Structure 1
Amino acid sequence: MTASADRRLRVEVRDMLDAVDPGAWDALTHGREPFLRLAFLEGLERHGCLGRRFGWFPQHLLAFREDALVGAAPCYAKTNNYGEFVFDWAWQTAWERQGQPYYPKLVISVPYTPATGPRLLVHPDEADPDAVRRRLLQTATARGVELGASGVHLLFPTAAEAALADQAGLVRRTGCQYHWHNRGYADFDSFLAALSTKKRKNIRRERRRVAEQGIEFRTLTGTTAEPEDWARFHRFYVDTFEKHMGIPTLSEGFFVGTAAALGDQVILFEAHLGGQPVAGALCYRSHDSLYGRFWGCVDDLPDLHFETCYYQGIEFCIREGLARFEPGAQGEHKIPRGFLPTPTTSAHAILTPGFGAAVQDFCLRERRMMEAQCASLMEHSPYRSPA
């Protein structure tokens, strides 16, 4: 543990969260953000989802006034770029060509989670929240220097945090995801009515094919799912990663433990055929959004992925009155199914001398390209009127 302090505010760097009071940590976001709940972040540590095998080493920032926790940031030293979803292979190559190490680097993010949300957490009663956020960023930079990191990276922050990072001199980078927005739909049919005729017919055809196969769905939560449900989903999850040459980082114990702790913030859509589970999609919900994270299946049945991962989630959002559905990173195939291109943000402080100007130029050119790409993709919107 290291610390930097003044008389009013001190910031500590911790390599584990097991000694942190869950109530104090969760109060920073009112417990609304599932991925920022202590049970989720500490569960990654407790259940072996981080560490040397996966290249994530906790360096969490905790800000205190007296003994009260008033701010925090989930922070990690990284020895690879896996599980960040802000891809920097070109940067790594540039460092290596100049004979410089790119790793370690420091990231303020939620591991394996490309969902936009708060990253510089501040207690809602804090009188000067931006002062705490600035201090967290300053401490992250100082810690990066201590570790010999190539840079500090703030991934998927809120718009307000990104603006604060701009003021602090970090370089902004733009990405693109595909999000569904609830326009006050009464039911799934009213959502379909907002689409063009061709797209509406295509979605109905996909849903009909799933139903004609005799597939039925049930929706479970962290409260209602049993341990055997999570054991089965974990098998789906591992199988999907292995099929696509990926690394299944999350353990069965993590799924069981976080489901018990997060309760109704954990949503599992499970597909059944002949009374047997054949697929599942795991989502998490906040007070206003649904986040799709993982899916898996026994067999690649026609259109089952679209129904399980997209249409079940849209129906859930309409039923629960949620404003937004983020089904995960990438995927232009989501556009004709109602998910529109949405810019995402990251911010970067380059600590290796001689690389800052090149990265800034790269990000500026990339940002223009991504903005043009999002605008171009919006021309393929499936909605009858602008969304």
Structure 2
Amino acid sequence: MSDTLPPTLRIHRAITEVPRGAWDALLDDAGRPFLEWAFLAALEESGSVGPHVGWHPHHLTLWRGSRLVAAAPAYLKDDSHGEFVADGAWATAAERLGVRYYPKLVLAVPFTPVTGRRLLVAPGEDRPAREAELARAALEYARARGFSSVHVLFPTEAETHALEAAGYAVRLGVQYQWRNPGYGSFEDFLGRFHTRRRNQLRRELRAPAAQGLTLRTLRGDALAGVDPDDLYRLYAATVDKYPWGVRFLTRDFFARMLATFPHACEVVEARREGRLVAGAFNLVGPRTLYGRYWGCFEEHPFLHFNVCLYHPVADAIARGLERFEPGAGGEHKLTRGFEPGLTWSAHLLFHPGVDRAVRSFLEHERAAVLAGLPRWRAETGFKRGPLVPPTR
């Protein structure tokens, strides 16, 4: 009889209010590693996420009795910082009309422009039905609380169908990502480029040796030797370069990640005679490597490309990973073998006039994005025709 009861919505002001085992039982590969309970807890408990930085946890869960059947990571937002889906123009337009844009409800992973599940459903449940219930529950809760809107950031393409059916407007974005069609070696990857571009990449690849630098990736037991202070200093070195940079992540976040989340953490180091010169803190899922935070204490030509692009690509090929997502932005990635791929977000604004304006804008933006894909793909420098057979 209990299986026929409608699920009950609960709102949680901290991920620790949801039992870890129950939350993680909802996850499949599309939810790992960024939707794992330990990752969200590290953000909240380290002080990197919370009301003081404009991210108020409001996680949505659906329960049938004592069983968690669906959930979504959700936050009340006072601004749009750390979302990577630009809606500042929407907020400005709303304010000019005398419409309050904040607070808004956002279903997302803070500071993480990575496509993945945003509507989590327990195994054995009717996924379409639970996704639809979560999509509607977010709207009903936001309306009841007087929030301006609901935004779902970087859901999977499949989830956008449930969101559209619930009335959300879908937005397209573009990221530059590396895909592995079956390379047997890094030379196979280089072999896809035209000669001139391939020679350019080889020159850049030789730079670390000429600079006296040695690169390596630390994972597993080797992470025990990583100092979280070094990771924080690298992260801060990059953030502090920009006038708009904000140190959202704390030193404790990196310490917690190394201590509680080592299975998904990787650190790329560039050292000269044992001294750390640059590095990148990455995460890895079942089939995908994710570039997250990088920094350097010395500036050298092509150092960023080697630490953040070439070395991880070579490592991904050696390990047979399917994808490497180095993060948002960066058209320089196109000429280094990273191809444009679509991302998605979904939005519903409760003020009818603002919502109509946003939907009109999204139609034009979608056309521009789809028209641009062939041009961006042509800029990779890959040869035309079939792939070079991978080395056996």
Q: If the length of structure 2 is used for normalisation, what is the TM-score?
A: 0.94
Task: Say whether the 8 Å CA contact 2:58–2:73 is kept in structure 1.
Answer: yes
Tell me by how many angstroms 1:302 deviates. Answer: 1.3
Aligned AA for 2:167? G
Q: Deviations over 1:59-87 (max 9, x none)?
A: 10111222111211000010011010000
Q: Distance in 2 between matches of 1:337 and 1:207?
A: 11
Name the amino acid aligned to 1:204.
R
Deviations 1:250-300 (A, max 9, x none): 111111212222222111101101210111111111111111111000011
On the 8 A contact 2:174/2:341 being kept in 1, the answer is: yes
Return closer, same or farther for 1:227/1:256 CA change in 2, 3 Å cut-off: farther
TM alignment of 1:218-229, pairs within 5 A: 218-221=216-219, 223-226=221-224, 228-229=226-227
Identity of aligned residues (%): 42
In the alignment, what sits opposite 1:185? Answer: 183
CA distance in 1, matches of 2:49, 2:220: 22
Tell me if the contact between 2:24 and 2:37 (Cα under 8 Å) persists in the aligned partners.
Answer: yes
Q: Does 1:21 align with 2:10?
A: no
Superposed structure 1 runs of 4+ greater than 3 Å apart: none
Gaps of 5+ in 1: 1-5
Work out whether residues 70 and 122 of structure 1, in 8 Å CA contact, stay in contact via their aligned partners in 2: yes
CA distance in 2, matches of 1:8, 1:288: 35
What aligned pairs does 1:222-237 form with structure 2 within 5 A after superposition? 223-226=221-224, 228-237=226-235
Distance in 2, matches of 1:51 and 1:187, equals 44
Match of 1:361 in 2: 360
Number of the residue aligned with 1:84:
83
Match of 1:200 in 2: 198
Shift of 1:146: 2.5
Distance (whole Å) between structure 2 residues aligned to residue 147 and residue 299 of structure 1: 49
Counterpart contact for 2:135–2:162, Cα < 8 Å = no
Q: Give the secondary-structure state (helix, strand or coil) at the position aligned to 1:307.
A: helix
1:223 CA displacement? 4.2
Query: How big is the alpha-carbon RMSD for the aligned residues of Structure 1 and Structure 2?
Result: 1.5
> Residues 21-170 of structure 1: matches in 2 within 5 Å?
21-30=19-28, 33-126=32-125, 128-170=126-168
Cα displacement (A) at 1:222: 5.7
How far residue 228 of structure 1 moved from its aligned partner, in angstroms, is: 5.0
Q: Choose 10-19 or 26-35, whichever is displaced more.
A: 26-35
SS of the counterpart of 1:35? coil
Matched, 1:259 2:258: yes
Alpha-carbon shift at residue 18 of structure 1 (Å): 1.2
User: What TM-score comes out, normalization by structure 1 length?
Assistant: 0.95
Give me the whole-angstrom Cα distance separating, in 1, the residues matched to 2:162 and 2:384: 35
Structure 1 residue 308 corresponds to structure 2 residue 307: yes
Residue type at the aligned position of 2:81: Y
1:290-329 correspondence to structure 2 within 5 Å: 290-329=289-328
What code does the residue aligned with 2:191 have?
A
Give 5+ residue unaligned stretches, structure 2.
388-392
Tell me the equivalent position of 1:3: none
Residue 223 to residue 143, structure 1, CA distance change in 2 (3 Å): farther
Q: How many residues align?
A: 381
- One-letter identity of the residue aligned with 1:56: W
